[in-house]
Structure 1
Amino acid sequence: MRIHFIAIGGSAMHNLAIALHKKGYQVTGSDDVIFEPSSSRLARYGILPAQMGWSEANITPDLDAVILGMHALTDNPELLRAQELGLKIYSYPEYIYEQTKDKLRVVIGGSHGKTTITSMILHVLNFYKRDFDYLVGAQLAGFDTMVKITSEAPLIVIEGDEYLASPIDRRPKFHLYKANLAVISGIAWDHINVFKTYADYVRQFELFIDTIQPGGKLIYCSADKDLKEVVNNATAAIEKIAYEIPDHMVKDGITYLMPEEVPLKVFGDHNLMNLNAAKLICAQLDIDSKQFDAAICSFTGAAKRLELLRNENETNVYKDFAHSPSKLKATIEAVKAQFPNRKLVACIELHTFSSLNKDFLVQYADTMKAADVAIVYIDEKTFQHKKLEPFSKKDVQRAFKSEQLHFFNNPALLQDYLLNVNFYRTNLLLMSSGNFGGVDLVKLARELNTVEQGI
């Protein structure tokens, strides 16, 4: 099989390219720019393009398939050439289905928790040395790549994103996988550049339920009122299984699953609900409750999901991917509940198109109330890059409903502020889907002052 990737450097795209290369396919690709770690990974497998840019010469009649990444534009010369030749053009989710249509497909959907639920399932399956394929949105400990596609594995676990499949296929990715087992973790409006209204966004989950194969099963969070209504109204010929927060206790900063008092390395109501979703999926894969508990106690979390950067002098510093209003609120509340006797400094970088939209910004009202000190950072260059009108400090404080909120648009000023805070018995939570203007968060965490005053 000869496969060519247009925009091979994307996170999912380069991982799929590597997976198909490992499967023995002849893989080529192109892109106008490829960043790390994609560049090094592609080079390691000998499939990094020799030069950057697009060329019609890359598209030849003997190609079995062209896989089109979201980064490419509709007038991309390679895409136009492939269309001219009548080649089969796939989005990457469409091709994932093509490769796995004879497998049991487990698809994890929802506005939040997808990566964590998927990661928990993979961790448990790996613990018991089960044979499985996967697609997940983060680099996981113990897994070389974010995508694995083989001929032998009887099942695949897929993180099902609701964003668009490709420039020429405007369907959400998770509509294309045709799940046998599915999860919806919750519904919280996101991607407003595509789904202009909340009703339009909710509609995508209604349609997702209809793609679950007849006789399949949907596992959903019944604590989400809107999701519960969507599921109750669904007429698909599937079994519906609800989940909530499992019984647990917190003692000395550690969460235990009850009644067996199974200690966990993760915490927070959202993680506990994610755990219950993973547990129900694993039950469908013949892993019982005790087996699941024995495996999940060693799960340390997905990358950038409450990732611990420092633990010293009753100070924890966490990095988290939270960026939407619901994720922001849940993550702050989780850290505060886990360490009720410590202060919490919470800092969110607004980076996505949705979060930088003035009409959407009001969705963040009261999301940081649980923090003792709330900080919002927006890199002033982000507004320039996205060609949006910048926010003022007053705009942000008004939207978040907090006059005490601190606002920074320069990474050096943010870093200076944090380095002048005493973090003894105080946790720091750094949340972003970006990179805080290039601040080295590991170095920052190491340099924070955690010494008790007067010592």
Structure 2
Amino acid sequence: MSQISSLRKIHFISIGGSVMHNLAIELHLKGFAVTGSDDEIYEPSASRLAKYDLLPAITGWFPEKITSDLDAVILGMHARQDNPELARARELGIKVYSYPEYIFEQSENKQRVVIAGSHGKTTITSMILHVLKYNKRVFNYLVGAQVEGFDNMVKLSESAPLIVIEGDEYFTSPLDPTPKFMHYQPHIALISGISWDHFNVFPTWESYVKQFELLADSLPKAGAIIFDETDDMLDVIGQKERADVVNKPYNAHPSKIIDGKTVLITAEHGEVPVLVFGAHNMKNISGAYAVCERLGITDEEFYAAIQTFKGASKRLELLGSNATVNVYRDFAHAPSKVEATTAALKGQFPDRTLVACAELHTFSSLNKVFLKQYRRKLNAADVAVVYFNPQTVEHKRLEPISEEDIRTAFKRDDLRVFTDSAELVTFLKSLKWQEANLLMMSSGTFGNIDLGELVDVILG
């Protein structure tokens, strides 16, 4: 019996997670009997699970869902160690996987490519998937955002010889503090850059960097490490001698901006127009190119495909535009991402006023000790705005932070700080929107503001 079809009845603990719900849908589509539980399920997970009749009728944990006829339980990282469903599964001796362990088991006989790094990994993974699909390759994948042309964020099949995985450094599950990417055992690993994040798990810069060194050191003979050579720490890790492992450094792809549009400069194919922009995306293109080259994609195939890549969901995503105004949203939720995204948009439209809004939402970004990592990260913006919800700080059991704490951390005296989403919306609507761009950066929702309505008002 094949690996994929050997487990037919599976229960998901924390089914609402971004990868978890996509894996649940993928197994459901394969004919598996899938059930799940969660204590909170947000959009778009809720609607997508409901579409396949996988949305739990009631939120919460129900040990009675864990029955002896289950083939396996997949445990999400947001569950707690004392989860009652987990306790019941262990009592019954049911196999418990984290999703990285499960993905590895289903791809053990495939060529495995893992895209890692503090920033850019979702975009690079998405670029590779786009190029492979454009060129009609057969492959499996796991990616952390919705990508145009792909119905689901996870694909597992027996026939595909290759799987491309977005691998993050955050811990695997409540039972396993190992970074997720260590479970995938890649043959090819790309590391896009290292900028301290996940302060709650890696309290020091050194402990954070160590995870990426472990990934690089884990590569097998005949493996390859592809890395951004402009990242000083990563260059040290990437250039380290490893027996029979290929080192492949990359940097930003040559490009230029013509009338607000970016074109790649190539030796063989002339100027190649692309739909993405910014220095980081030029690096992302080079990284994706290096991976695709090792997978047998030719120059001609790569450049033909990359022209139509529109970006991953919420990664410098254009929400609306008119003749003089563009509105973007971005998932930027860490200092390096806020800086890179803001600089990219200002560089693309240097003559337009840039209004950049960042929501502090994650554990790291709301931590007083870590907050200073945001020093000058909004300097590229003409109007810089930060929003945070004091209730989120309280919910995460962190020390309260003040508006002055944030101004001091960002080192910007004219920084506008909001703790009320309605006041933020009122402020944005009051600005003069002409020859200006708005950038909304968050892994959250800015207090559930209606972005569609805001865009409509701004664009008039």
Smaller-chain TM-score range? over 0.9
Match of 2:42 in 1: 35
Q: Are residues 1:345 and 2:352 paired? A: no
Question: Does structure 1 conserve the Cα–Cα contact (< 8 Å) formed by 2:115 and 2:166?
Answer: yes
Following the alignment from structure 1 to structure 2, what is the Cα–Cα distance between the partners of residues 336 and 53? 45
Spell out, residue by residue over 1:394-444, the C-alpha distance to the aligned partner (whole angstroms, 9 max, x if none). Answer: 211111111111111111111111111012111111111110111111221
| CA displacement at 1:370 relative to structure 2 | 1.3
Given that 1:378 and 1:408 are in contact with CA atoms closer than 8 Å, whether structure 2 keeps it comes out as: yes
Structure 2 counterpart SS, 1:123:
helix
Instruction: Choose from 180, 184, 194 the match for 1:177.
Output: 184
Q: Specify whether residues 51 and 342 from structure 1 end up closer, same or farther in structure 2 by C-alpha distance, changes over 3 A only.
A: closer
Counterpart residue identity of residue 162, structure 1: E
Letter in 1 for 2:113: V
Do the aligned residues in 1 keep the contact of 2:322 with 2:459 (CA within 8 Å)? no
Please say if residues 314 and 331 of structure 2, whose CA atoms lie closer than 8 Å, have aligned partners that are also in contact. yes
In the alignment, the residues of structure 1 paired with residue 333 and residue 61 of structure 2 have an alpha-carbon distance, to the nearest angstrom, of 33
Greater Cα shift, 120-129 or 264-273:
120-129
Q: TM-score, normalised by structure 1?
A: 0.96
How far, CA to CA, are the matches of 1:236 and 1:326 in structure 2?
A: 32
Q: Report the CA distance between 1:110 and its aligned residue.
A: 0.2
Residue 180 (structure 1) shift: 1.0
Offset of 1:234 from its aligned partner?
5.5
Asked whether the equivalents of residues 110 and 184 of structure 1 are also in contact (C-alpha less than 8 Å), the reply is yes
User: What residue is the counterpart of 1:107 in the other structure?
Assistant: 114
Aligned to 1:360: 370
Work out the CA distance in 2 between the residues paired with 1:55 and 1:329. 43
Q: Say whether the 8 Å CA contact 1:419–1:449 is kept in structure 2.
A: no
1:61–1:85 Cα contact (<8 Å) kept = yes
Alignment size in residue pairs: 450
Q: Offset of 1:63 from its aligned partner?
A: 2.2
Distance in 1 of aligned mates of 2:244 and 2:373:
35
Partner SS for 2:329: strand
Counterpart amino acid of residue 146 in structure 2 = Q
What residue in structure 2 maps to residue 13 of structure 1? 20
- Structure 1 gaps, min length 5: 451-455
Counterpart selection for 2:59 from 45, 52, 59: 52
Separation in structure 1 between the aligned mates of residue 70 and residue 244 of structure 2, nearest angstrom: 39
Match of 1:295 in 2: 305
- 2:220 alignment partner in structure 1: 213
Listed one character per residue, the Cα deviations across residues 58-79 of structure 1 (whole Å, up to 9, x for unaligned) are 2223322111111211111111
CA contact (8 A) 1:5 1:66 kept: yes
Q: 2:406 aligns with which of 379, 396, 404?
A: 396
Q: Hey, what does 1:453 align to over in structure 2?
A: none
Displacement of 1:236 after TM fit? 5.6
Q: Which residue of 1 aligns with 2:149?
A: 142
What residue is the counterpart of 1:447 in the other structure?
Answer: 457
Superposition RMSD in Å: 1.4
Question: Does the CA-based 8 Å contact 2:325-2:459 persist in structure 1?
Answer: no
Aligned residue identity for 1:329: E
Query: Aligned match of 2:314 in 294, 304, 314?
Result: 304
Q: Aligned to 2:345, which of 335, 344, 352?
A: 335
Structure 1 residue 446: Cα displacement:
1.6
* Superposition map of 1:48-127 within 5 A: 48-127=55-134
Q: Measured at CA, do residues 135 and 399 of structure 1 come closer, stay the same or move farther in structure 2, by a change above 3 Å?
A: same
Q: Which residue of 1 aligns with 2:428?
A: 418
Checking the alignment, whether the CA contact within 8 Å between 1:420 and 1:449 is kept in structure 2 is no
Which residue is equivalent to 1:157? 164
- Hey, what's the Cα distance between the residues in 2 that align with 1:34 and 1:394? 34
- Tell me how far apart the structure 2 counterparts of residues 29 and 449 of structure 1 sit (CA, whole Å): 42
Which residue of structure 1 lines up, in the alignment, with residue 325 of structure 2?
A: 315
Decide whether the 8 Å contact of 2:254 with 2:282 is kept in 1. no
Distance in 1 between residues matched to 2:299 and 2:374, nearest whole Å: 37
CA contact (8 A) 1:23 1:150 kept: no
- Matched letter for residue 212 of structure 1: L
Partner of 1:270: 280
**What TM-score do you get using the length of structure 2 for normalisation?**
0.95
Distance in 2 (alpha carbons) for counterparts of 1:58 and 1:36: 24
SS in 1 for 2:372: helix
CA contact 1:422–1:449 (8 Å) conserved in 2: no
- For residues 250 and 59 of structure 2, the distance between their equivalents in structure 1, rounded to whole angstroms, comes to 48
Residue 90 of structure 1 aligns to a residue whose secondary structure is: strand
Mapped partners of 1:251, 1:174: distance in 2: 39
SS in 2 for 1:437: coil
Query: Which range moves more in the overlay, 111-120 or 380-389?
Result: 380-389
**In the alignment, which of 29, 46, 50 is matched to residue 22 of structure 1?**
29
Farther off after superposition, 404-413 or 381-390: 381-390
What amino acid is the match of 1:138? A
Segments of structure 2 that go 5 or more residues without pairing to the other structure are 1-7
